[in-house]
Amino acid sequence: MDDALVRTGRALRLMLLTALAVLFLIPFYLLVRGGLASEEEITAPGWTLFPTSPHWSNVRELFTDPDVPMARALLNSSLIAVATTLGTLLLASLAGYGLARIPYRHADAVFYAILGTLLVPAAVTFVPSFVLVSSLGWVSSLRGLIVPTLFSAFACFVFRQYFLGFPRELEDAAQVDGLGYWRTYWRVVVPNSRPVFAAVGTIVFIGAWNAFLWPLVIGQGRDSWTVQVALSTFTTAQTVQIHELFVAAAVSILPLLLVFLLLQRYIVAGVERSGIDD
Amino acid sequence: MPISRRLLLAGGAGIALTGCGSNTGRGGEEGPGRPRLSHWYHQYGEPGTRQAVGRYAAAYKDAAVRIEWRPGNYDQQTAAALLTDSGPDVFEVAGPTVEQIQAGQVTDLTGLLKDVKGEFDPVILAPRTYRDRVWGIPQLVDTQLLYYRRSMLDAAGVRPPQSLDELVDAARRLTRKDVKGLFLGNSGGAGALGGTPLYAAGLSLVTPGGQVGFDDPAAARTLGKLRRFHTDGSLLLGAPTDWFNPASFTQGLAAMQWCGLWALPQVKKALGDDFGVLPFPPDGPAGRPSVPVGAWAAAVSSRSAHREAAEAYVKWLWVERTDYQQDFAQSYGLHIPARASLAARADRLKSGAAAEAVRFTKEHGYARPLLWTEASQTAYLDALSRITREGADPGSELKAVVRKASAELHRVRSRG
Amino acid sequence: MPAAPRRLPAARQRHRALWFWAFVGPFAAGLALFTYVPLAWSVYLSFFDAHNTVSPTEFVRLDNYATLLADASFRSSLVTFAVFSAFIVPATYALSLGLALAVNRLRAGRAFFRSVFFLPTACSYVVAATVWKLSVFNGVRFGLANTVLGWFGAEPVAWLAATDPPWYWLVIVTVRLWLQAGFYMVLFLAGLQRIPPRLYEAAALDGARPGWQTFRHITFPALRSTSVAVVLLLIINAFQAFDEFYNLLSDQRGYPPYARPPLVHLYYLALGQGQDLGLGSAGAVLLALIIAVVTVVQARWSGLGRRED
């Protein structure tokens, strides 16, 4: 009797989860459907489950569009996202370690000053930021696109929380061996912290890949367009071609989905050990 | 601290190994006496436009002109860039705005029009004229119109509406299960129409004397009638494309649509002769048909390192090269050339619906006044949206707009 | 701190300070330059009449602040935010916790379900808004939602343009739930993994029935610190809500007067053609102050960020 109840409960839960999973996947389905359909199929009154003859030519069209250098944009986005991720991981993890582990009188004050920036809505300090970067002469350079975004208070916060929970015994052993902070960090702490680097790295990578306003305004010239900027050309034009927009959108998220599927094991493990919530 | 700064610079340099393509081209010289200019355009939707402006720029001999083709929110990008030295030398702009002129962000281009000023339609030159000086050279004229589907009107026994009341009535009678009577854009008309209904009531946004032009009971009466479109359920809303794209009209989602002359070639291709165009119809005893016209203009940034060269280039392209101006207005989307002599020679505007549109523009065209600021526009559009969509009281809504707009007019008039 | 060695305490402290700044300095310097300088600049601008300039000359004291606080549409944007977060914070919280609990108890297919719910996190607001606006919730007969309604014989609904009832909230809220629930689900999953199994064993011995009782007395309290972090992040994110609103509702001519959160309101004030940087900056300062008060209160109340040692 009890056993049957448990089994029914389990089946119900599985059904509910499956239904939710289908709901969560629908937008991806719509993206692919829209991207492979012809304009007539999309706007037809009856719902076609899937284009009868998928228009793979839409993909070719996208990459040969004379007005939108999509391949170049993918390359730019990859470059920027990788550089931003590596830079952020380096800077934020060092800072997080220093804040967590090096006794210093003003450490708490520095920590709260960093944390406080999370509260400032970046969109409204946008113009001063732009003027500042421009006065450094960084407009339309890779530097201008990357460097100002490297200082993520969120990443620093996660690293600090993680390092607070890092087993002290490991570090103590290293210090007995005569290693200073610097070498302890690189030889002991970093190699034992891969999951948290993977977790923060993924989040930073997504943010960098999806950034729109900053690359739009800082990057000048079609050669410096990122994927998001290229994508926006399909939504602002007076002639919206839905299939073109959708195929571009699908192409723009594909690299991220792949990164995600490959890394998600580490992400979960990283969050688990980061103590983000302690 | 010195350590950290060094580290920062080292980190920065390590990451920024390579520059991203070429730089803006500001301040550079290419060969003796050939300055480099950067010329910004917003992204036009019609294929071929980008290649065309590139062709024009390449043909200019006295400067090396680099075209910047900017997608996304163009106004915001130019506004931010004009605050810095990394902005454009020459840029196209829907204004320039009175604030941009007053802040000294654009140069005085009056001299460029010395001999030809009379050729430009005064309706579009006036909003670019401040204290008798001209701050932008109009590139082309864009007209907005009401498109209607002849066959659908015939089937419903409706004649092309000649007054606002008839338009309301027609929209209601044309509405079927899968076809709505009228498409005024996905925001239900506020954004697409703007001040047009006020002009149709015989009023204006700003009077020639610089006062609010709709502090009048007629304004509330006319705007109140727009509410009927919503209560009758005769508006198409939530279409995949907005009012400036004719797709909803050509796909038969709506029997009438507010759109622009630029869409006429597409409409003709899709519907043949099964359509006609109208101005926004008049309302009330003082009413008159109303046709909003807009124009993209070329302006020169005051922060340009080569102001004279930039102005010379603008003069060459938008005053002297009439062949390019004609090509720009006629070969991609359909627009009216900014100059009378060119408009008269534009073959594609000589017959049919296009010729009608040109006539409406000439007789009933109005442009958004220079002193009508963005803050006034936002207040007005908010009120219009609340009146039409939510049934707010037109009288009290308009009173608040008049107050806001008066304060804005006072602010911009009292500035040096 | 343990008693410092008697010999050379000052030198030792200097040594540590030096190392502290070697680790934290590069980050702190960058943050100072790229966040604090623009922030200070915004505060400065907020006391000036700064139309189309970042080096204003006309000092107006607190006029910008007074103007904003007297502005009905700014106040209503704060109300919009309050309504929005009063719904989205609990909804996201409940959905992500529910998903985590359900996924965590699966025996098979756990990785699959986790991936499915987590995948949307990779999408940008631009892509999500595009799908929502053009495919799911477009207002004509070939949108997905209207197609489904059509099967039941209902009339198409103009989801984003309908103000009575305000269907646009459904669109805005679902897009945010879809994008964010998976991320918070992972945070909860991590929290669940850390609950020691002996707690459950002890509870079972005490006669607690699996299900609601166990959840109430064991799981939920054990997740307290995760919950606090999630709620904090949700509140900050709700305050900074901009992208989905802007991408779903703006058009070329502006933004409707409804569903306009503070950041969207300030965007139209300070950026674009009507570049009133003084007023926009004043709004930014006010907003940052409000967020600061809310988070400090929330953090105090829940004890977040307390050092364990």
Domain ranges for chain C, please list them. 64-302
Whether residue B29 is found in the same domain as residue B121: yes
Q: Tell which of B330, B351, B366 closes a domain.
A: B366
Give the pLDDT band (50/70/90) at residue B27: very low
CATH superfamily of C64-302: MetI-like (1.10.3720.10)
Task: Please indicate, yes or no, whether residues B282 and B322 belong to a single structural domain of this protein.
Answer: no
Q: Which of B320, B290, B299, B298 is nearest to B123 (CA)?
A: B290
Q: From chain A, pick out residues whose CB is under 8 angstroms from the CB of C20.
A: 98, 102, 104, 107
Mean pLDDT of A231-235: 84
Given a cut of 80, is residue B266 above it in pLDDT?
Answer: yes
pLDDT in tens, A87-119: 999 999 999 999 999 999 999 999 999 988 888
Residue B71 has pLDDT above 90, yes or no: no
**Total domains present in chain B:** 2
Produce one character per residue of B107-142: b if its CB has 16 or more CB atoms within 10 Å, e if not: bbbeebbeeeeebbbebbbebbbbeeebbbbbbbbb
For residues A216-241, average pLDDT:
81
**B127 lies in the same domain as B181:** no
Q: Could you tell me if B237 and B152 lie in one domain?
A: yes
User: Is residue B285 domain-shared with residue B152, that is, in the same domain?
Assistant: yes
Residue A164 has pLDDT above 60, yes or no: yes
| Number of Cα atoms under 13 Å in the Cβ half of residue A277 | 25
Write out the residue range of the structural domain in which residue B184 sits: 143-292+372-413
Instruction: Tell me the pLDDT of chain C (309 aa) as tens digits.
Output: 444 445 557 888 888 899 999 999 999 999 999 999 999 999 999 999 999 999 999 999 999 999 999 999 999 999 999 999 999 999 999 999 999 999 998 888 888 899 899 999 889 888 999 999 988 998 887 889 998 998 898 888 889 987 888 999 999 999 999 999 999 998 898 888 888 889 888 888 888 877 888 898 889 998 988 888 888 889 888 888 888 898 899 887 788 889 999 988 988 888 766 789 999 999 989 988 988 888 888 878 776 544 443
Residues B274 and B150 in one domain: yes
- pLDDT per residue as tens digits for the range C13-63: 888 899 999 999 999 999 999 999 999 999 999 999 999 999 999 999 999
Q: Are strands B291-300 and B137-148 parallel, antiparallel or unpaired?
A: antiparallel
From the list B8, B80, B238, the residue facing C158 with the nearest CB is B238
pLDDT surpassing 80 at residue A64: yes
Residue scoring higher pLDDT (B295 or C274) = B295
- Determine the pLDDT at residue A58: 87
CATH assignment at residue B237: 3.40.190.10
Instruction: Report yes or no on B1 lying in a domain.
Output: no
Nearest CA in chain C to B77: C272
Q: Judge if B173 and B231 occupy the same domain.
A: yes
Instruction: Give the separation between CA C169 and CA C160, rounded to whole angstroms.
Output: 8
Query: How confident is the model over B305-340, as pLDDT tens digits?
Result: 999 999 999 999 999 999 999 999 999 889 999 999
Confidence grade of residue A4 (pLDDT, cut at 50, 70, 90)? confident
Predicted confidence at residue A71, as pLDDT, reads 93
Pairing relationship of beta strands C48-49 and C58-59 according to DSSP bridges: antiparallel
- Same-domain status, B79 and B94: yes
C221 in B contact zone (CB under 8 Å): no
Tell me the residue type at B43: Q
Could you tell me if B43 and B124 lie in one domain?
A: yes
Confidence (pLDDT) at C307: 43
Together in a domain, B255 and B193: yes
pLDDT at A237 exceeding the cut of 80: no
Which residue in the set A24, A42, A246 is minimally distant from C142, CB to CB?
A: A42
The reported pLDDT for the residue numbered A66 is: 82
Residue among B73, B103, B238 whose CB faces C161 most closely: B238
Structure tokens of C31? 């943050």
Contact: C30, A147; criterion CB under 8 Å: yes
Residue of C nearest to B176 (CA): C155
Whether C131 has its CB under 8 Å from any CB of chain B: the answer is no
Using a CB–CB cutoff of 8 Å, tell me whether A87 touches chain B: yes
Mutation target among B15, B55, B248 for the A interface, most CBs of A within 10 A: B15
Task: State the pTM of this model.
Answer: 0.89
Of A179-193, B15-29, B218-232, C266-280, minimum mean pLDDT range: B15-29
Residue A127 pLDDT grade (very low, low, confident, very high; cuts 50, 70, 90): confident
Q: Are residues B75 and B132 in the same domain?
A: yes
B367-378 pLDDT, tens per residue? 999 999 999 999
DSSP C127: H
Alpha-carbon span B98 to B411, nearest angstrom: 11
Give the pLDDT confidence score for residue A150 in this predicted structure: 96
In angstroms, rounded to a whole number, what is the distance separating the alpha carbons of residues C120 and A195? 21
Complex ipTM: 0.89
